[in-house]
Amino acid sequence: MKKLLLSILVASIGTFVSNAQLLWEVTGNGLSKPSYLFGTHHIAPVSVMDSVPGFASALASADKVYGEMVMSEAQTPKSQQVMLTYAMAPQDSTLTSVLSAAQLDSLDKVLKHYMGPMASASQMATLKPGMVNMVLALAQSQAAFPNFDPTKQLDGEIQKRGAAAGKEIGGFETIEDQCKAMFGTSILTQADELMDMVRNDEKASGIAIKLAKAYLSGDLNAMLAIMEEPESGNSGEWSERMLNKRNANWMRIIAGLLPTASVFIAVGAGHLPGDKGLISLLRKEGYTVKPVEK
């Protein structure tokens, strides 16, 4: 159970313009060399890298590779302990304490649907509702990517390629930063979000598949629209916490990086579009951001 939990956390850590494009070139504003911005999907096949025109040359030309976090650090014993600490519920706030019998029964049915007849809410009772929610979200997404291998995760593989080429690898956040964002809200808020996911399981599964299709077609606008659908379960508070605030924090780091080196930035595609997305934020800082066409 603990090994599965860690695999899910690492895979999920990195749980959306005018052109359909995943790879963007950043120039202007006094830069001597272009930098690049690439949108990932945390459980998409690593073959995506080789299917995007210009990806290999852009990565090769960069001096540094930056992601949401340094993915290799998630494998250290210290990081794994941090993840487990944030994922575990307080003793007085287990699932069986915060959910009613009827809610637990509904959760059981959804868990069994995705994870087999042995799965149950009681089996996951020591986890925070937010962690169980993440397990369900990953299971729903795997319907679109059934061959997902958590040991070959896109963000991590990009960083591995960069490291193999001798490039500096960096991250905008620590593992603790990401855990705070995902599991830092109150247990009751997490429980409400979990039950929303359970009640809307069929719709949420459809949304996960639509998101995957939009990603594979490089349609960031479609991804943003899908994520804003009421059935997605992504509230305004969630978007502010998981996307907007993090984008603003990352931009402060990016603004200091770009004048010093060519940087290949690979983060979840959901962070790119929209008024508060990285593409817009870079343009507001005076950079020219355009899709790489070859």
Residue 233: band (very low, low, confident or very high) from pLDDT cuts 50, 70, 90:
low
Q: Is 50 exceeded by the pLDDT of residue 239?
A: yes
Q: Is 90 exceeded by the pLDDT of residue 255?
A: yes
The per-residue pLDDT for range 245-254, each reduced to its tens digit, is: 999 999 999 9
The CA distance from 261 to 62, in Å, is: 8
Residue 235: band (very low, low, confident or very high) from pLDDT cuts 50, 70, 90:
low
Which residues, at least 6 apart from 20, have a Cβ–Cβ distance to it below 8 Å? 217, 218, 219, 220, 221
Q: Is 60 exceeded by the pLDDT of residue 10?
A: no
Q: Is 90 exceeded by the pLDDT of residue 140?
A: no
Which residues, at least 6 apart from 222, have a Cβ–Cβ distance to it below 8 Å? 210, 214
The per-residue pLDDT for range 46-99, each reduced to its tens digit, is: 999 989 999 999 999 999 999 999 999 988 999 999 999 999 999 999 999 999
Q: Which pLDDT value is given to residue 241?
A: 87
How, if at all, do strands 288-291 and 23-27 pair?
Answer: antiparallel
Task: Say how many C-beta atoms besides its own lie within 10 A of residue 142's C-beta.
Answer: 16
CB-based contact 263:162 (threshold 8 Å): no
The per-residue pLDDT for range 24-35, each reduced to its tens digit, is: 999 999 999 999
Q: Is 60 exceeded by the pLDDT of residue 9?
A: no
The per-residue pLDDT for range 183-210, each reduced to its tens digit, is: 989 999 999 989 998 998 888 888 888 9
The CA distance from 84 to 103, in Å, is: 25
Percent of the chain with pLDDT over 70: 91
Computed over every residue of the chain, the mean pLDDT equals 89
What is the distance between the terminal CA atoms of the chain, rounded to a whole angstrom?
Answer: 44
- pTM score, two decimals? 0.89
How, if at all, do strands 64-67 and 23-27 pair?
Answer: unpaired
Q: Is 90 exceeded by the pLDDT of residue 158?
A: yes
